Amino acid sequence: MTSFAEFHRQSIEDRDVFWAAQAQLIDWKVPPAQICDYSNPPFARWFAGGQTNLCHNAIDRHVAARGDQPALIAVSTETNTERTYTYAQLHAEVQRMAAALQALGVKKGDRVQIYMPMIAEAAIAMLASVRIGAIHSVVFGGFASGSLATRIDDAQPTVIVSADAGSRAGRAVPYKPLLDEALGLASHKPQAVLLVDRGLVPMNLVAGRDHLWAELRAQHLDAQVPCEWVDATHPSYTLYTSGTTGKPKGVQRDTGGYTVALASSMPAIFDAKPGQTFFCTSDIGWVVGHSYIIYAPLIHGMATIMYEGVPIRPDPGVWWSLVEKYKVTHMFSAPTAIRVLKKHDPEYLTKYDLSSLQALWLAGEPLDEPTANWISSAIGRPIIDNYWQTETGWPILTLCNGVEKQASRFGSPGKAVYGYNVKLIDGETGAELTEPMQKGVIAIEGPLPPGNLMTIWRDDQRFVNTYWKSIPGRLIYNTFDWGVRDKDGYYFILGRTDDVINVAGHRLGTREIEESISGHASIAEVAVVGVADNLKGQVALAFAVARDNNVAGDPQACAALEKSVCNHVDAQLGAVARPARVYFVSMLPKTRSGKLLRRALQAVAEKRETGDLSTMEDPAALQQVVEAMIRG
């Protein structure tokens, strides 16, 4: 068996030979003429000259052998519905949607914007778009009208696919009014809007523009829509990075490189086999949902679970009940979701049969060691961290246990994945740091491996300036994250380079302070932000959720626990890292995908406008922060 070190070495030093072998994992209409064209750095053209189709590789090629096998399992605890589509049934549904899109004027190269809840039709719309050579652009469902309008203007879709509403924690979230308002604000007007009517809220249709999916589906029940074979470098989709300000930054993904990268990741990273079941709890509005809810499991011939709901409704055991019911072998979630479960009765984690589960993978935010230890003990399964970005499309750092079994080191997402030539760089001098545990910026030497972004949609110069020219004297991809690497090659993420605060001349990472506070026995969850201070330049403020839910409402308990937390930080990091204040709340403001809204916390602390909060899970969380600061 090839060692992982040798596997990784081959991917860097014998790049074309390595990726030519990985390219055999997918179907090609025309084999690539060149594996990697890097004649115009930093732009990499993978598998140039080849022709393939993402939908063909995800569905069509499996129908003959796996037609009756489950492909897409759509579960909604919001509407109490579950629907399983076999590969044959999904094949038919995607062709119906493809025919409907074509009837509405969509052609190869056109954009299809998807603004939908986590329902099967959203996945079907994505697959139908790439089937006909269109470029899909998914916008997180429920996004505010102004933000949606800027994305409509940037993507310039021919058709927008949406729904009457989503549902969150038992409450309907109307999408159609938000979409109508966005279309009123946007300069670009699509030819048509295709709507799934779930019957959750009434809809007002615009004559001539709005079309109901049920009606068009009925017209195309017997549709036979062949796959449009496209160049490997043809865009498959654009996806806007979260936290974007100003002009939207649309990550542009290719077709061939992305398909190969995902196809290789399933056996190499996840040690997955066709016929198994993958359950990713993310949302299609984020890159994890694109890669590991929709495309990668289907490319690999697996069943994939698409979940609409929250992890604690109807009870905190709902995810584990699905693991038992569908014999889930691979589960992918986020540390924040696990921290939510951590606040509930642990009996829910032992109530169900999890024997089918090989491992739980976590990504989205750094996985702190206490949370990793807790969930590992609770479910008795390997916990594997991983680190990547919207831009990369698949993991940069993790453990490739399908190549060689390696032990997790809690607090570390793992080692550099094959294809990624990861370096630690001095952010001020550009020098490479090679000694163990030296703190530097995590960067990647070009060319970026297959599956990574080709460029920024309609803005090549922004791609170069943003990612490749920010480190002095180097043309190297900047992740904008601090990290260290131990002697065995395991990386540890220390936080965003823009999350470094300067306290009286001392540079501190808010991530390091968070890690320390989260290790306190009485703390369930914490967020630390840097806040402007007239005397020290900046100070660290911590917002924490105590394990005891009664603490937040008891001033004396808050004061005692704040003192204990500060002493804990003093002992671990020194007095210079002690937060100026620790405020206790019963919940922290998060997006619906579970990411902490640190910039909103910082804005509240500095008495600034918070900006767009349309992705926030519960507005009451931010109000709690305001009230906690008023109480002092």
* Domain of residue 140, CATH code: 3.40.50.12780
**Per-residue pLDDT at 596:** 83
- Cα angle at 615 between 613 and 619, to 5 degrees? 60
| Helices 510-518, 555-573: inter-axial angle, 10-degree rounding | 120
The answer to whether position 411 is within a domain reads yes
Return the CATH number at 624.
Answer: 3.30.300.30
Report pLDDT digits (tens) over 261-289: 999 999 999 999 999 999 999 999 989 99
The answer to whether position 121 is within a domain reads yes
10 Å Cβ neighbour count for 354? Answer: 18
**What values do phi and psi take at 241, rounded to 5?**
-70, 145
Closest CA to 527 of 537, 540, 536: 540
Q: Do 471 and 537 reside in the same domain of the chain?
A: no
Q: Do 462 and 513 reside in the same domain of the chain?
A: no
Q: Do 421 and 570 reside in the same domain of the chain?
A: no
For residue 65, give every residue at least 6 positions away whose Cβ sits within 8 Å of its Cβ, in sequence order, or none. none
Q: Give the 3-state secondary structure of 342-393.
A: HCCCHHHHCCCCCCCCCEEEECCCCCCHHHHHHHHHHHCCCEEECECCCCCC
Q: Do 464 and 510 reside in the same domain of the chain?
A: no
Closest CA to 124 of 205, 217, 31, 242: 217
**Per-residue pLDDT at 486:** 97
Range of the domain at 107: 4-309+386-480
The whole-angstrom separation of Cα 55 and Cα 127 is 6
Q: Which residue has the tokens 């056109």?
A: 110
**Per-residue pLDDT at 167:** 94
The answer to whether position 72 is within a domain reads yes
The answer to whether position 508 is within a domain reads yes
| Structure tokens belonging to residue 364 | 């989205």
Q: Give the 3-state secondary structure of 54-102.
A: HHHHHHHHHHHHHCCCEEEEEEECCCCEEEEEEHHHHHHHHHHHHHHHH
Q: Do 218 and 253 reside in the same domain of the chain?
A: yes
Strands 581-584 and 537-546: parallel
Task: Answer yes or no: are the C-beta atoms of 206 and 190 closer than 8 Å.
Answer: no
The whole-angstrom separation of Cα 355 and Cα 366 is 27
The answer to whether position 381 is within a domain reads no
The whole-angstrom separation of Cα 113 and Cα 116 is 10
Task: Answer yes or no: are the C-beta atoms of 530 and 539 closer than 8 Å.
Answer: yes
Q: Do 403 and 285 reside in the same domain of the chain?
A: yes
Q: Do 95 and 38 reside in the same domain of the chain?
A: yes
Q: Do 304 and 399 reside in the same domain of the chain?
A: yes
**Per-residue pLDDT at 244:** 34
* Single-letter amino acid code for the residue at 431: A
Q: Do 439 and 526 reside in the same domain of the chain?
A: no
N-to-C CA span, the chain: 60
**Per-residue pLDDT at 245:** 41
10 Å Cβ neighbour count for 208? Answer: 7
The answer to whether position 317 is within a domain reads no
Question: Consecutive 10-residue runs of the chain (632 residues): their mean pLDDT?
Answer: 93 98 98 98 98 98 98 98 98 98 98 98 98 96 84 97 94 95 97 98 97 98 98 97 63 98 98 98 94 98 97 95 98 89 88 97 86 92 95 98 95 96 94 96 98 97 94 94 95 80 67 86 92 79 92 92 92 81 93 79 86 75 87 78
The answer to whether position 177 is within a domain reads yes
- Write out the H or E segment, with its range, that includes residue 121: helix 120-131
The whole-angstrom separation of Cα 348 and Cα 366 is 24
The whole-angstrom separation of Cα 284 and Cα 299 is 17
Q: Do 27 and 110 reside in the same domain of the chain?
A: yes
**Per-residue pLDDT at 107:** 98
**Per-residue pLDDT at 1:** 66
Q: Do 151 and 240 reside in the same domain of the chain?
A: yes
The answer to whether position 332 is within a domain reads no
Q: Give the 3-state secondary structure of 247-312.
A: CCCEEEECCHHHHHHHHHHHHHCCCCCCCCEEEECCCCCCHHHHHHHHHHHHHCCCEEEEEECCCC
Q: Which of 448, 480, 512 is a domain's end point?
A: 480
Q: Which of 447, 464, 480 is a domain's end point?
A: 480
| Structure tokens belonging to residue 605 | 């602390």
**Per-residue pLDDT at 496:** 77
Q: Do 476 and 509 reside in the same domain of the chain?
A: no
The SS3 of residue 614 is coil
The whole-angstrom separation of Cα 419 and Cα 140 is 29
Count of structural domains within the chain: 2
* Single-letter amino acid code for the residue at 531: V
**Per-residue pLDDT at 506:** 60
Strands 43-46 and 230-231: unpaired
Query: What's the pTM?
Result: 0.86
